[in-house]
Amino acid sequence: MTLNKKAIDNLKKEIDDLLDKCEEDFEEMACNPDYTFGLLMSASATLGAVSRDLGGGENET
């Protein structure tokens, strides 16, 4: 499967929405002792960089 820019942007948005939920709900974040929150932050940053490299930039954080 090849991810295009739109698919990457959509995936990044979904991850960012989940991160926002975790930031708003401490219990949600605290129940992730396996570093899921940190992995999601890293994935979001990586997807953002890939998206910009593909010729975007409009969704920069």
Which pLDDT score, from 0 to 100, does residue 4 have? 82
Residue 1 — very low, low, confident or very high, per pLDDT cuts 50/70/90? Answer: very low
The answer to pTM > 0.75 is no
Q: Can you tell me the mean pLDDT for 13-31?
A: 77
Which pLDDT score, from 0 to 100, does residue 33 have? 65
pLDDT surpasses 80 at 7: yes
Q: Can you tell me the mean pLDDT for 11-24?
A: 82
Render the chain in DSSP notation, one character per residue.
----HHHHHHHHHHHHHHHHHHHH-HHHHHT-TTSHHHHHHHHHHHHHHHHHHTT--TT--
Domain range annotation of the chain: 5-53
Which pLDDT score, from 0 to 100, does residue 50 have? 85
With contact defined as beta carbons under 8 Å apart, do 54 and 8 qualify?
yes
With contact defined as beta carbons under 8 Å apart, do 61 and 19 qualify?
no
